[in-house]
Amino acid sequence: MQSEEWKFTAKDIAEKPDLFMSGHRACAGCAPAAVMRLILKATRGPTIVTMATGCMEVVSTIYPYTSWAVPWLHTAFENAAANASGIEAAIKVLRKKGRIKDEHVDVIAIAGDGGTYDIGIQALSGAVERGHDFLFVLYDNEAYMNTGIQRSGGTPLGASTTTSPAGEVIPGKLEPKKPIADIMVAHEIPYVATASPYYWRDLIIKVRKGLEVEGPAFLHVFAPCPRGWRSDPSKSIELSRLAVETCVFPLWECINGEYQLSAPSKVIAMAPQKKKPVKEYLAVQGRFRHLFTPKYEKLIDEIQRITDMRWQKLLKKCGIA
Amino acid sequence: MKSVEQKVLALNGDEAVAYAVKQCDVDVVAAYPITPQTIIVERFSEYVANGEVETAFVCTESEHSALTACLAASLTGARAFTASASAGLALMHEMLFVTSGCRAPVVMAIANRALSAPINIHGDQSDTMAQRDSGWIQIYAENAQEVYDSVIQAFRIAEHPEVLLPAMVCLDGFQLSHSVENVNVLPDDVVKKFVGVRQFPKVLTHEGKLAPLRLDPHNPMTLGPLAFPNYYFEFKRQQEEAMKKALEVIRQVHNEYAEISGRSYGDGLLDPYHLEDAEIATVCLGSTAGTVKAVVDELRSEGVKAGLLRIRAFRPLPVEGIRKALENVKAVAVMDRSMSFGGHGGAVFHEVRHALYDSDKRPFIVNYIYGLGGRDTSPMQVRAIYKDLQEIVQKGHVETPIKYVGLRE
Ligand SMILES: Cc1ncc(C[n+]2csc(CCOP(=O)(O)OP(=O)(O)O)c2C)c(N)n1
Ligand code: SF4
Ligand SMILES: [Mg+2]
């Protein structure tokens, strides 16, 4: 894959003009907003971005303002991938007819976990099955934040949200996260990867790879939301490191069906003593506060068990365990 | 001008749609099958498979995505088309509003079909009537020939810079979608010239440049943003203004097309039949007009001053035209092929009655709901409607304002 050759320094990235511009209305410490900026640092030429309804759409395009220096389209919540289908199909035909001069236009669809795991999965599955050439980026802040922190298929086990509140008899969300990236791998598309903004270089390279690949690509980006996670706004990027170090959110790529761990997770695979307990990750987030009471503390063990089980499965897929 | 020479093809309504779309230099067709529209997608797929069109055919996983893809393609600069019916159109409901709100001139054919439940694949107009406030132009055709002509006109109307609204061409399920008729088709080059290449109005970008309204990496533009109460209302008002403009544009495009094809449908908005001196008249949409015309002919031969007003453009509604066409009639029967539950009569009834309110001579006006779920309406039943109207005129009052045609009560 070409990106192996795409060499860049931190200075190059800093100097590349921001295509996701400042002035948006995201909360302080919003990792999804940082992710938007990083995604656009990886563009390689003419690019169109389309987006599902959600926090990032809402904070960045309040008429008559916009944060987007690229052509950008939002139409609804469940259909970012269908937008991408239409854009990509149009570009192909218009270029053939000589009505668009650009040799190539990259298409990026961006959606939150709601717009991907839940209401958006039908359009996403259909679009990748049809083989449209586009990159779908899921920024996963693990709940419907725009509408006030409701649970989604991406909300982790035990998290308290406004529709899975921790109460006297129910300890927050009862189900673990849907393995969305593996579901995308099962579509047999050429490129699927996970990324986390702490590892910004890895994230940028993965966006670029997703753009370079011919056909559909899917990138699952971990994106802490201090508002919804009830975490310290100054700790969002640290949390996105801790999620990787605890193996709650391992980093990997699956290129043409071949899984491989990305460096930050590979380090842990090679030196398991570096793997931190999930408790460390849970303890700094208000959404898990109730787990640190005698009544519900058993759930922490369960979260650890599921995390380990998924990590082992991943290692196996990567040919390590 | 003499009309151009044309081929005659035996086509059903769906095939007439597909044939027209093939000739209109459409860039993207995204669709999902549903009876009685399916033939449109099937025929068009064949054109694609045989290399007869330069069109990207996106066979989506749902109608919601089909319309979304058309909308996005349209905003990228493509001429886009889709087709649907019934449940499919209902599933598109959300995106209908988004499409008109984004001012994307997508054209869609609807083979009108009943809505569930109970599930029923046959014709009525519940599906499109339920979408009448979605900001789409709605044209209802009487026969396969008009279906063909209307699809071609629809691209010109929708893309007109003063309109820039999506348009539906509605054809009655089975009666039109599946019945084969002789259809005169224009030569390919004539249609291509008539529809032309899509033009884009110029708008101001955030960089302060004037650029064509579309997603273009060289002129970045944010489309489909969030608008708070301080701006939203103005967007909606502009859509209403565009609808008003569409009244004139539908007429113009229809007349221009009539010169080329030699075919016209009233003024393009309303198609009156023996209305000039009519004392009693019905109002209807779509293929039913064929049956009604036959009855009007019979009645006329018997000396009864009967007439018909067929509404071709239901959105925008030619309110003034309807008033002028009907105000000298003594009694009017509006035929509705859908229900507006709890609304005291059908949608067409409401709107025609509304148009007549401003007349000094308000005629008697009654409503006949008919043909739901594909139930046949016979010439005898239409005759009975005219008979009712004669009685109303005689007695000078209305006894039953809303009646159901051919229904077990
Ligand atoms: C069809 C539809 N249903 C519901 C909504 C309301 N809604 C808007 S955004 C949103 C949640 C978005 O969640 P997610 O995709 O996770 O993005 P986030 O806001 O968390 O970034 C919901 C439920 C909508 N706009 N459209
Ligand atoms: S609620 Fe969360 S995702 Fe939304 S803007 Fe605030 S921090 Fe970002
Ligand atoms: Mg979310």
Q: How confident is the model at residue A3, as a pLDDT?
A: 57
- The verdict on residue B50 lying in a domain is yes
Q: Is the pLDDT of residue B51 over 80?
A: yes
Task: Please check whether residues B253 and B279 belong to one and the same domain.
Answer: no
Residues B343-352 pLDDT 10s: 999 999 999 9
> Dihedrals φ, ψ of B29, to 5°?
-120, 120
Q: B58 and A85 in contact by Cβ < 8 A?
A: yes
Task: Please check whether residues B17 and B122 belong to one and the same domain.
Answer: yes
Q: Is the pLDDT of residue A1 over 60?
A: no
Structural domain of residue B141, as residue ranges?
Answer: 7-200+241-261
* ipTM of the complex, rounded to two decimals: 0.97
> Dihedrals φ, ψ of B252, to 5°?
-60, -50
Task: Please check whether residues B26 and B73 belong to one and the same domain.
Answer: yes
Q: What is the CATH number of the domain that holds A310?
A: 3.40.50.970
Q: How confident is the model at residue B206, as a pLDDT?
A: 85
Q: What is the CATH number of the domain that holds B353?
A: 3.40.50.920
Residues B237-289 pLDDT 10s: 999 999 999 999 999 999 999 999 999 999 999 999 999 999 999 999 999 99
**Domains: count for chain B:** 2
Residues B343-381 pLDDT 10s: 999 999 999 999 999 999 999 999 999 999 999 999 999
Residues B58-105 pLDDT 10s: 999 999 999 999 999 999 999 999 999 999 999 999 999 999 999 999
Share of chain A above pLDDT 90, in %: 98
Q: How confident is the model at residue A230, as a pLDDT?
A: 98
Structural domain of residue A256, as residue ranges?
Answer: 2-317
- The verdict on residue B45 lying in a domain is yes
- The verdict on residue B357 lying in a domain is yes
Question: What is the position in ligand 1's atom list of the atom closest to the CA of A54?
Answer: 19
- The verdict on residue B226 lying in a domain is no
Residues A283-300 pLDDT 10s: 999 999 999 999 999 999
Start-end of H helices in B176-261: 188-195, 232-261
What is the C-alpha to C-alpha distance for residues B92 and B86, in angstroms, rounded to an integer? 10
**Domains: count for chain A:** 1
Determine if the peptide bond prior to A64 is cis (ω within 30°): yes
Task: Please check whether residues B255 and B276 belong to one and the same domain.
Answer: no
Q: How confident is the model at residue A85, as a pLDDT?
A: 98
- The verdict on residue B56 lying in a domain is yes
Residues B93-138 pLDDT 10s: 999 999 999 999 999 999 999 999 999 999 999 999 999 999 999 9
Q: What is the CATH number of the domain that holds B190?
A: 3.40.50.970
Task: Please check whether residues B62 and B151 belong to one and the same domain.
Answer: yes
Q: B215 and A69 in contact by Cβ < 8 A?
A: no
Task: Please check whether residues B249 and B359 belong to one and the same domain.
Answer: no
Q: Which residues of A touch B215 (CB under 8 A)?
A: 48, 71-73, 87
Task: Please check whether residues B276 and B196 belong to one and the same domain.
Answer: no
Q: Which residues have any ligand 1 atom within 6 Å of their CB?
A: A 32, 53-56, 77-78, 111-115, 141, 144-147, 152
Q: Please list, residue by residue across B162-186, b when 16 or more beta carbons sit within 10 angstroms of its beta carbon and e when fewer do.
A: ebbbbbbbbbbbbbbbbeebebbbb
B224 min Cα distance to partner chain A (Å): 5
Instruction: Assess A68–B contact: CB distance below 8 Å, yes or no.
Output: yes
Copy the structure tokens of residue B123. Answer: 């014709």
Q: How many CB atoms lie within 10 A of CB A241?
A: 17
- The verdict on residue B217 lying in a domain is no
Residues B219-242 pLDDT 10s: 999 999 999 999 999 999 999 999
Q: Is the pLDDT of residue A4 over 80?
A: no
Q: How confident is the model at residue A2, as a pLDDT?
A: 52
